[in-house]
Structure 1
Amino acid sequence: MTQTRPDPQKSPIPRYLPFALSATALTLAVLHLSDIFKLDEIGLGLILLATLPWLIPLLRNHVRTLELPFGKVDFLEQRIEKQEERISDQQETIERQQDTINQLVLYSMSYWIFELLSGLYHQTQDGGEYLFRDDGTMDKDLRFLRDRGYLTLDFQVGSLQNGQNLVGVVKLTPAGNHFVELREKFERESHLKK
């Protein structure tokens, strides 16, 4: 798993703050130590304060909880919250991308060809009839649907007769059934959103 760098624009701490805090604390420590040159609680506190901005990232990665005099810091909980937020953002992105892909696929078929596929689907489901028209376009549309895997290969377009019932002769593949169901569902949902 790759680790990403934190986005400085999203960070609640400005980038310069650790440097400024360290420089200030080190300056105070040098001034404090130069007078007496002994290491007391104040000097140690200033050195700790200078290193704190650099220690926190290390502690976050290796320590679960840190007990301090002013309270408890739970780094694991913070990491879990950030991961959950990232997962949620990624899930939303995936859902938007999937919706876009669905629309591209579902609307890649023209309205007229889809009407033929949908009509065959519904009439087959209802046991009705869907009559072949020898008008020069229906045979091309049937070939298109068959060649793309929406209709089975067990019929010859050239042998169909004008007015012949296509139900039972022309069968949808599972992909054809699924395509009709998905597109109609998507169109219903889109219509409800308007």
Structure 2
Amino acid sequence: MRVFGYGDGPHGGHAEITFEGVRVPLENLIATEGDGFAIAQARLGPGRVHHCMRLIGMAERALELMCRRAAARVAFGRPIAEHGVVADWIAEARVRIEQARLLVLKTAWLMDTVGNKEAHTEIQAIKIATPQMAEWVLDKSIQVHGAGGVSQDFPLAQLWTAARTLRLADGPDEVHRAALARREIRRYA
């Protein structure tokens, strides 16, 4: 399958599979019958941290490209890095990346020290915040690159696609926001 017109690269990507008339012999079950959902859920926390680490890397790459382009591209007689709005985007990008990085590090530390269940609030928080951060940084980097930012000449459009897609993977933002809000409200009910 292709997403926003892109494949998933050399790692095989995603596919649609239809199972018809499939039976699994008892000796081939991973756990007991009916445990599949629990097994799938158990991998989500570490998977979400992995996604967020990749998103931070994407945002770092986008910021690097934005800074290089802003320093090299001249408009109205000076590098666009000297234009206030671009400088603001660069500063804001660094702040947003570091905020997300710290929340992801805290989440990973909690998962290691108290377990995935106790880190659930933070896992949901990074799943909401990190893709949105990366999407924002990538958008500003694309803007600094002009039309080139959406072309194959730079990796930005493909990175933006990956970041935007991760706002849906393992549950959309809205589901995580609703669950996180319920958890917070329970503390005061």
TM-score by length of 2: 0.29
TM-score by length of 1: 0.28
